[in-house]
Amino acid sequence: MLQTLINAWRIPELRRKLLFTAFILLVFRIGSAITIPFVDIGVNGIIPDIQNDSSFLSYLSMMTGDAFNYATILAMSITPYINSSIIMQLLTVAIPALERLQKEGEEGRKKIATITRYVTIGLGLMQATAYYFFLSNQGNLLKDSAGEAFTGVGAVLQALVIISVLTAGAGLTMWLGERINESGIGNGVSILLFAGIVARIPTMVTQLYGPTNGYVAKGGFYVPLSILAGIALLAIIAFIVWMDNAERRIPVQYAKRVVGRKMYGGQSTHIPIKVNMSGVMPVIFASSILSLPPTIQLFIKAPAAGSFWEKFFSVFETSNWLYVPLYFLLIIAFAYFYASIQYDPVEMSNNIRKNSGAIPGYRPGQPTVDYIRRILNRITLLGALMLSVVALFPIVFSLLGTMLLRVTGTVAADATNVFSVSMGGTSIIIMVGVALETVKQLESQMMMRHYRGFLD
């Protein structure tokens, strides 16, 4: 990977693209550090115990590089655009008019992209409004000289400024991502997401290994566990790289055709199907749904100890063992759902038959459809299981580490999340996936510029 970057830097055109991408990321990080007006954010942000928090707010803070936690102008970051893209992708399958637009080629895709931008602004406005009310309920808004919250025109002006700035920040982030797509390297949305996650790494290291509340400060017993966590992280990264490159190849044999005096076709090829065909989307969907109950709990009065609602909300905390099977089942379900959107066995079979091809050992038509569907189901299950291992390992590792510390009496019995692993599976998958995708794009562009054609 490092050698690829060095080789790309030597090519003037690619060097300009790399510098442009770096400049966009600099603008993005500066915007993620400027606090919005009329707010009073403490040293720890709006989520004081974010290290042990399992709500959707901590998930958003992770996706935005702590911009959400510190109420900056880019606090919404790229999440509204990601959500709108997912919504449009799902609606394209459900609404025939959008499906026809998608099949119209470049013009249709441009229209869908325009609709996606409008949906992004709408979602950004909704999230900004909810964020304003959360800041108001938490007491993070600036008060008047008497120490009281603004009322009347002052409160309306305060709300309009905060919501407008946050919505504009969501639009600006979307625009920055599109600029990377046009003049930079890599996918703009993925690069900005990658930058936000990487920006949190120093904070995570400080929280885990800091001089006051880190592992080392709590006794020598933490040192081998910390080393084990680092080794496990490297193993997970290697596993993700292997998983991302794995694929199942469906063989296809094309019949020979005689056109005039020439014979065409007759070659054997294959249809590659990636094992991790849905990427990180099942993990994002599953974690988003499981984060909703803890987030709702933030807006209501704390339930009484021992009550039904107290037990119900505790199930959705990462420190609860029931969270693990729920997370696992949702990842499997969303993996199959996303695979059904991406691949249609009937359409794949028809395309093979239209090109005078066939899968060896299977007749065209229903037998081919059944074979492709069976392969897709197996590959989807295998990919979902691999995703589950990566996503659940940090949670299980944290639970086992805490249990071990309790058994040995190293920490108090109420220290439930003292051995939490901040770099979650979602973050690792996104980081490794974006890095691999960007390197592949650099390699393809370098290959285009070093290709020697028949005129050379």
Q: Give the pLDDT confidence of 263-300 residue by residue, as tens digits.
A: 665 677 888 888 888 777 788 778 777 777 776 776 66
DSSP 115: H
pLDDT above 90 as % of the chain: 8
Within-domain flag for 442: no
Closest C-alpha to 191, from 20, 424, 399:
20
In angstroms, what is the C-alpha Rg of the chain? Answer: 25
- Residue 424 zone, left/alpha/beta (φ > 0; ψ -120 to 50; rest): beta
Closest C-alpha to 327, from 281, 282, 377:
282
Please state, rounded to an integer, the average pLDDT across all residues of the chain. Answer: 77
Tell me the residue ranges of DSSP E strands in 33-127: none
DSSP 194: H
Domain boundary among 200, 227, 259: 200
**Residue 128 to residue 71: CA distance in whole angstroms:** 10
Within-domain flag for 128: yes
Inter-helix orientation angle 425-450/366-408, to 10°: 130
Query: Which stretch of 47-51, 219-223, 291-295, 308-312 has the lowest confidence by average pLDDT?
Result: 219-223
CATH for 331: 1.10.3370.10
State how many domains the chain has: 2
Contact call for residues 169 and 73 (beta carbons, < 8 A): yes
318 shares a domain with 173:
no
Within-domain flag for 432: no
36 shares a domain with 116:
yes
382 shares a domain with 319:
yes
Within-domain flag for 40: yes
C-beta atoms surrounding 115 within 10 Å: 15
Buried b (16+ CB within 10 A) or exposed e, 284-315: bbbbbebbebbbebeeeeeeeeeeeeeeebbe
C-beta atoms surrounding 219 within 10 Å: 11
Between the CA of residue 16 and those of 20, 23, 29, 169, 181, what are the distances in Å?
6, 10, 20, 26, 14
pLDDT digits (tens, 9 = 90+) for 140-190: 787 777 667 777 787 888 889 999 999 999 999 999 998 998 888 888 888
**Residue 49 to residue 113: CA distance in whole angstroms:** 38
Domain boundary among 146, 166, 200: 200
Structural domain harbouring 267: 213-421
For residue 209, give the H/E element and its range.
helix 201-209
What integer is the mean pLDDT of 80-97? 81
pTM: 0.75
Q: In DSSP terms, which residues pair with 149 in a beta bridge?
A: 143
**Residue 391 to residue 293: CA distance in whole angstroms:** 19
Name the band, by pLDDT with cuts 50, 70 and 90, for residue 27.
very high
One-letter identity of residue 421:
V
pLDDT digits (tens, 9 = 90+) for 392-435: 877 777 777 667 666 666 544 334 444 444 456 677 777 887 88
Within-domain flag for 137: yes
Q: Which pLDDT does position 452 carry in this prediction?
A: 52
pLDDT greater than 60 at residue 109: yes
Residue with the larger pLDDT of the pair 220 and 187: 187
96 shares a domain with 118:
yes
With tokens 């999340």, the residue in question is: 417
Domain boundary among 200, 225, 248: 200
Contact call for residues 288 and 59 (beta carbons, < 8 A): yes
Q: Alpha-carbon dihedral of residues 60, 64, 69, 70, nearest 10 degrees? A: -160
249 shares a domain with 361:
yes
One-letter identity of residue 328:
F
Q: How many CA atoms lie within 13 A of 380 on its CB side?
A: 22
387 shares a domain with 288:
yes
316 shares a domain with 194:
no
One-letter identity of residue 33:
A
Within-domain flag for 452: no
Within-domain flag for 191: yes
C-beta atoms surrounding 448 within 10 Å: 8
119 shares a domain with 95:
yes
Between the CA of residue 169 and those of 77, 80, 121, 260, 432, what are the distances in Å?
7, 11, 10, 62, 27
219 shares a domain with 194:
no
Name the band, by pLDDT with cuts 50, 70 and 90, for residue 451.
low
**Residue 416 to residue 400: CA distance in whole angstroms:** 11
Closest C-alpha to 281, from 430, 438, 440:
430
